[in-house]
Amino acid sequence: MKNDRHASETLPPQTAYDQWAEEYDDADPTTLLDEPFLRSMMKLFDGCRVLDLGCGTGRYLRRAAQPGIQVVGLDLSRAMLIRARREITPGKSISWVQASVARLPFLQEAFDRVISGLVLDHVDDLQSFFLQVAAALRPGGRLVMSAVHPDMQRLTGSVVRFTSAGREYHTHGTVHEVRSIAEAARQADLEHISMLEPRVDQDLVARRPAWSNRLGCPALVLLAADKSRFA
């Protein structure tokens, strides 16, 4: 019993992602679902200012970092920022900020696009999150984001689990219902362009056979929303 008790440890999110950064799986099967959505909905343009909230290893950020695009990657984890910076092609116009998505350190209307991948399960206050996103966006700017679907969280557990250096760790996760996400975005004057709930299909299971028990379960919530031009 003593060995079992010490085999895992619950960590606060910043410590957890610092610990996990080097072994974090950047090729999760759900990339088949969210990356096409991100590319189709970003609608970047020359001079576009993009904020990646909770950029992690930089998976979304790398798709936004194109010639003529100014990108800021924000994450609470210093180790994640170090990994993201290491994996970016030299010469890209990227700034790095270590901060919480709960307290954004930016001027109002600083960005044309806000992108965010798989962060909402670490957000306790949805209303505050979307209000801050809206404040960071210029009128007519766009949010494109993904979140773990609540049905998936109920299937696998809301706690985020990972293994690093042979030990298991946990960090707290919050379940947000789809209707709550949609309503919080609307209350922040973010008008939905698209909201999808793609399911685990055979293509995902083929990439990760251990996911066979998730077949048919909604995997993600994908949201694209524009800030009102009259906000």
pLDDT tens over the chain, length 231 residues: 334 444 578 888 899 898 988 888 777 888 999 999 999 999 999 999 999 999 999 999 999 999 999 999 999 999 999 999 998 877 778 999 999 999 999 999 999 999 999 999 999 999 999 999 999 999 999 999 999 999 999 999 888 888 877 888 889 899 999 999 999 999 999 999 999 999 999 999 999 999 999 999 999 999 999 998 875
> Do 75 and 81 touch, CB atoms closer than 8 A?
yes
- Residue showing tokens 């694209």: 224
Q: What is the CATH number of the domain that holds 42?
A: 3.40.50.150
> Up-side HSE of residue 81: CA atoms within 13 Å toward CB?
18
pLDDT for 109: 97
pLDDT for 7: 57
Concatenated DSSP letters of 96-125: EEE--TTS--S-TT-EEEEEEES-GGG-S-
In the chain, the number of structural domains is 1
The structure's pTM equals 0.92
pLDDT for 3: 41
For residue 114, the Cα-to-chain-centroid distance in whole angstroms is 11
Give the domain range for residue 115. 2-227
Helix (H) or strand (E) holding 41: helix 31-42
Query: Is residue 149 helix, strand or coil?
Result: coil
